[in-house]
Structure 1
């Protein structure tokens, strides 16, 4: 089976490429100079994107590419809309032509964060432009019958909040931890879950994320686990943030836990590349 992965140089893309290459013919697509064994492609060059997908005729497309810098999305809204939303529309256009199954990776930030533990059927209501652009991407994906939207939260590998915590505290510095809640998951565990979903070919929306935890609690766990010297302080906001953040965007992944064999809920700190 031919599996095309966009964002192949990203945290999730790297793990997906390693896993799926063992069983499938993987086509890696990226927009950076970080990897060489794939195809460099600007996904916002829509005619070229559509032509590429038609020529490669993948059986499965996994869209792990996104503009995830929340504050940058708030400033560069046109860019965020192109990458996180319009790109998906063009993938769907070609998907219908080549009969490809689409897995689109989305985010917990499509929710307002007023209560947390959001289920798949809960109504999205993003509080920042990043969440809005990702919600628009979901809408395009779900307009295609043979697609699955995988919502996740706080993915980490060589970057992300847990890695930032580790590096900051290891240097003996003080870490300011936002007291909001989310559901962090390592890129490795998320990739394992998506590997199963490729074979199951489910459609609709599915939440695949870790357990609900506050960033302060998580920082303290990492400090204790690695015996790090730095100090952790809980704060209500971080100075310098441009975009509003949801207070509790944690996801209820009970549906996915019943469906999948991988234990993606466990906090896979070992999944950090540090």
Structure 2
């Protein structure tokens, strides 16, 4: 099976490269990947040409501009990467009849209620969430697409890594007052590996268990016996864009489909790269 991974140098892309079996076609843009192909996803004709020539059986689109504040400032770039590029990936997927797995986010929701189901109405409150929602719409215009909504992916970056490193230095962690469903890149990659065999389509939430960032920080402090302290804050210094208060995802549907434990906190924390 030929599997094309966009964003192969990202956290999820790295883990997919480790977990997946078959003929992997790894695509990167900024950070070089050994054996990979450099491709700017905003060069749409090049993207379509590459996919049509490589003829993958499966495409996993992990590439995304995920910096929430940068998306709000550089809206044109966010739209090109998170939305319009997906349209052209879909166009080429149709030609080669590839199965497309497109990675999306909990930030398509406003965070007013939390534990969002797959069929809940999206209502993004920042441009990152809006650009990702537009990308979902393009992806779902193709019948053979699975949109995976996830939350707080971490590996060598992300909130859990910040917490671990800050507490290890004996410093204070600022934890945003709110909830989400963090998942390690490794567990998400394992879930995707299983889902390829099932060829599900539509939307599926694959994320960790709902937890507040304060409770997560305290859990990491206790689990790894770290010093430092944890402080709950309403806003993180330097943030520009508004964040949803509770963007946690209801993962009950995925738990029924998948055999892998992708959700438990202890299992996910095993795969922090610090």
Query: TM-score with structure 1 length normalisation?
Result: 0.98
Contact persistence 2:32–2:38 (CA under 8 A)? no
Contact persistence 2:26–2:33 (CA under 8 A)? no
Looking at structure 2, the residues matched to 50 and 256 of structure 1 have their Cα atoms a distance apart, in angstroms, of: 31
Structure 1 residue aligned with 2:2: 2
Structure 1 residue aligned with 2:79: 81
1:185 partnered with 2:183 = yes
User: Which consecutive unaligned segments of at least 5 residues does structure 1 have?
Assistant: none
Tell me the alpha carbon deviations over residues 54-88 of structure 1, each in whole angstroms, 9 at most, x when there is no partner. Answer: 10010100000100000000100000000000110
Tell me the alpha carbon deviations over residues 144-185 of structure 1, each in whole angstroms, 9 at most, x when there is no partner. Answer: 000000000000000000001000111111111011100000
Looking at structure 2, the residues matched to 220 and 93 of structure 1 have their Cα atoms a distance apart, in angstroms, of: 46
Contact persistence 2:103–2:147 (CA under 8 A)? yes
Deviating beyond 3 angstroms after TM superposition, the runs of 4 or more aligned structure 1 residues are none
Tell me the alpha carbon deviations over residues 93-146 of structure 1, each in whole angstroms, 9 at most, x when there is no partner. Answer: 011111011000000000000010000000000000000000000000000000
Tell me the alpha carbon deviations over residues 214-263 of structure 1, each in whole angstroms, 9 at most, x when there is no partner. Answer: 00110000011111111100111112211000000000010000000001
Structure 1 residue aligned with 2:26: 28
1:219 to 200, 217, 223: 217
Query: TM-score with structure 2 length normalisation?
Result: 0.98
Looking at structure 2, the residues matched to 32 and 80 of structure 1 have their Cα atoms a distance apart, in angstroms, of: 16
Aligned residues: 272
Structure 1 residue aligned with 2:40: 42
Contact persistence 2:87–2:138 (CA under 8 A)? yes
Structure 2 residue aligned with 1:234: 232
Shift of 1:270: 1.3
Three-state SS of the structure 1 residue aligned to 2:115 is coil
2:96 to 80, 93, 98: 98
